[in-house]
Amino acid sequence: MDSLALPVPAVAHAKVHAALDDSRISLREIADLMQDSPALVLSVLREANLHSGGLAEPAESLEVALNRLGLARTGILLRRLPSVELQSIPVALRQLQLISQHAAQQAHGLFANQLGRLWQDIHLGSLLFLAPLWPMALAHPKLLEEWELRVIHKGESAKVVEKSLFGVRLLRLCQALAQHWQLPIWVTQGYTLLIAEQRNLVKVLRIAHENDDPHKQQQQLDDDLPLRRWFNQPANTILLANGLALSAQQGWNTPHNLRWQLLTSLYLQQPLDDLQRQVHQSAATSARQHASPGVWHPAEALLWPWDARRVPDGLLPAPPPSAEALHAWRKHCSDLLAEPSIFTNAMHLTTCAREALLASGMQRVVILMIDRKADCLRVHQTAGVDKAAASLLVPYKESTVLQRLLAQATQLRLTASNNAQFSALLPSQLRSLFSGENLVIRSLACNGRVLMVVVADQGGGPLSEVTVQAFGKTGQCIERALTTFSHRNG
């Protein structure tokens, strides 16, 4: 994570670079300019804390970090960071940083007046609370997208999904990185609260949920002084702001979002209706300042019917192939159907088959040939999967699904409704290549004997029906090609 240089939008990069070269501009003004790029804020803060050698307290503000680094070293750091157009930054990273900017705006709208003297701490902590995830979103964007799809939108167990995808709970990973980077202490405290102090959080939530009168809520808190002191810590503001921003990504009237609204209204000692108005206003302000094409800002949903929900891409069917792709697909199928066979060897034939499957709209493809002597399937062609899959051997004796497919030419389609049933019966070596719940498997025969198995999907999400139909027709063309090829010397 330390070695990753987070990209900075070209516009923000140029503005800060010019400011560093202008002796008339103060550190305070430079710090303000940097706020347009969360990646730049994190990079400067990390660099300043790294060069302190552990002898100084972590920088509590961007201005302190700049003063510690000096303009010369700040300029060197800026030149090391990639300056790229906004649209070139991975969507997963842009989405996370947008949520962080939304959280910082929520913190400003809700707590700036009440806790004015602590405003800089609140702002910086709110902006950087999710920063431990930013490098991951750059290096492994698909993992975070799958986590969101499965945990937030499908309601799967966060513990199970995180162990599967990351090998560790995300909160603990974030806590460890926040400590390693010496992020503001309130960031680390927020993760500690979520990991080790959930019982207190539940107590406070029960008070907020059981009574909607702020005065009675406060009386209940006053009856438990240790709990009141714990809850009223200013550090909790950054957790509340991020909880509101993150939960709003799913919807404004979800139970998850309501819980954070209740906690925040209790913290501010104000009615829930008033709090909701402030939250919606802050969201709209954030959208005006930070929204950009290709990423989702929940303020958009404020214009929708109240019960409407955004459907993420991973739950929508993949788009059908373009007219150009279908033209290429027909050409490949024509080559497969040619008589006499135009193929010089099996690799030539399966390369054409792979290209036909990709042109049909498939994004990940594995073509396997049967080695009956070794009781395994040998990978013959791949596309869109890990390169190591090219040398994969997949045993089939213990898999009832593969045994059925090898008995006769068959097509099996896995979807969200039957994935759990069939996925467990596939060898792990094969299943690990295809994350998601949706894929098709087809065994192909030549002269009545199965020779080949094709596995394909469109990134793991629901398949386009046009692509599924084209996949079936491609399978028929490959079978014809195999038969014609086997008779080429006849």
pLDDT digit string (tens) for the chain, length 490 residues: 667 889 999 999 999 999 998 889 998 899 988 988 999 999 999 988 876 655 567 777 888 889 988 999 999 999 999 999 988 898 899 999 999 999 999 999 999 888 878 888 899 999 999 999 999 999 888 888 888 888 877 778 889 889 988 889 999 999 999 999 999 999 999 999 999 999 999 999 999 888 778 888 888 888 899 999 999 999 999 999 999 999 999 889 888 999 999 999 999 999 999 999 999 999 999 999 999 888 999 999 998 888 777 777 666 788 899 999 999 999 999 999 999 999 999 999 999 999 999 999 999 999 999 998 888 999 999 999 988 899 999 999 989 999 999 999 999 999 988 888 888 899 988 988 998 889 999 999 999 899 999 999 998 889 999 999 999 999 999 999 999 999 876 5
Residue bearing tokens 């799958």: 146
The pLDDT value recorded for residue 150 is: 82
The pLDDT value recorded for residue 110 is: 94
Closest CA to 345 of 481, 187, 144, 158: 481
| 3 state DSSP class of 142 | helix
Give domain 323-486's CATH superfamily: GAF domain (3.30.450.40)
The pLDDT value recorded for residue 238 is: 95
Amino acid (one-letter) located at 397 = K
The pLDDT value recorded for residue 100 is: 96
Handedness of CA 209, 210, 211, 212 (dihedral sign): positive
Q: What distance in Å separates the CA atoms of residue 198 and residue 233, rounded to the nearest whole number?
A: 15
The pLDDT value recorded for residue 313 is: 66
Helix ranges restricted to H, 132-197: 134-139, 141-147, 158-165, 170-180, 185-196
Q: What distance in Å separates the CA atoms of residue 301 and residue 283, rounded to the nearest whole number?
A: 10
Q: Which residues of 320-349 are buried (b: 16+ CB within 10 A; e: fewer)?
A: bbeeebbebbeebbebbeeeebbbeeeeeb
Q: Pairing state of beta strands 393-395 and 411-414?
A: unpaired
Determine contact, residues 130/148, Cβ cutoff 8 Å: no
The pLDDT value recorded for residue 359 is: 96
**The 449-457 sheet, strands edge to edge:** 393-395, 376-383, 364-371, 449-457, 439-446, 411-414
The pLDDT value recorded for residue 449 is: 93
Q: What distance in Å separates the CA atoms of residue 214 and residue 231, rounded to the nearest whole number?
A: 15
Asked, as a colleague might, if the bond just before 141 is cis with ω within 30 of 0, I would say no
Q: What is the domain partition of the chain in residue ranges? A: 90-313, 323-486
The pLDDT value recorded for residue 59 is: 79
